[in-house]
Structure formats: C-alpha cells, structure tokens
Amino acid sequence: MANSSSFSAINLKTPVGIIYLQSSPDGLRRCAFPGSTEMLAAEDLFAAYPNTSLLKAAVEQLGEYFSGARHSFSIPLNLRGLPPFQTRVLLACAAIPWGQVSTYAQLAAAVGSPGASRAVGSSLARNPLPLFIPCHRVIGSDGALHGFAAPDGIRTKAWLLRHEGLRLENGKIKPQTGGNP
C-alpha cells in the first residue's frame, strides 16, 4: 500500500453515505464506502493532505452528480496495478452512460469474452472506483439488481439508478416506454 506522502485522501458525506476518496499523483485511485463489508486497510482510513486539486475536483463533481447536474465524470483515474481483464471490464463499464444499464453478459461480450459474465461480476465486485466507474449500472440479464459494495448494497444501487431516472419494480429495472429514461 502507498505511504501517506504518495496519496491524498478525504471522507465525504453524500446522499448514499460516507464515501472515502483517495488520489495519487496519477489520478483518483480509490472511492469506497467505509461502512461496507469491504475492509479498508488502516492506512487508508485517514485523510492525508485532503486539499489537493484532484480531490477538490472529485468532491465538486460528486456534488454535481448527486444534484443531477453532472452525468459523467472527468477526473483522471488511476487503474495501475489491476489485472488486464479487470481493467478492460472497468473501462467498458465506465462507458455506460447516465440513465442506462448494461447486463453482465453484454459487458462480457463488449470486452471480447462472451460467456464470462461471472468473471465480469467478480471484476466489478472489486471495482476500486464505484460511482466514477458506474458498476451500479450493470444488472442481471433478467433485469434484476445484483450486489453493490455499499453499506446498504442493493438499496444503494437502486437509489443510484432511480437518481439517474430509471424505474424499478420488484427489484428489477422496469422497461422504459418510448423516449429516454
């Protein structure tokens, strides 16, 4: 893990709970929900030099996202050190637009690995930058919502999808009728 001089971090209160952001000289490297079942390393839990321009921009863009004014992020992301397959999955996921969803199978096909839905799900479960890489926009082939690494998991995923204008019914995305969501 990086030492305190190589990254900056901050905790941010949002409508979906506390979010921990960590940046490096190469870009945003972490966005996590500290209250989730995922455990952060002790050195990740402090705020070291929280006033960097990258963290300020990330906080501002998250605020705009939660107010509905921003539909995509323009923060440089640091995905160094991740396995190549996971990196391809995360980059494909990052391309899913606001208010739209993709299935695990569609994402597997998009990265050239049709039939690798479970591997896609595993890669997304280890997404180091949820929200910035919108894994909440990936659903099951039947329209059902599956895991999300936040304290309230599926409820948080549902909140984010509703925030983006999607309709849910009985834990599934409800097909839109005409026009955009």
List the catalytic residues.
135
Residue type, 144: A
Burial class (CB in 10 A: 0-12, 13-18, 19+), 124: buried
By the 10 Å C-beta count (0-12 exposed, 13-18 middle, 19+ buried), 119 is classed as middle
103: left (phi over 0), alpha (psi -120 to 50) or beta: beta
Q: Which helix (H) or strand (E) segment is 65 a member of?
A: helix 53-67
Token duo for residue 173: 């995305």
Please state, in angstroms and rounded to a whole number, the distance separating the CA atoms of residues 17 and 124.
20
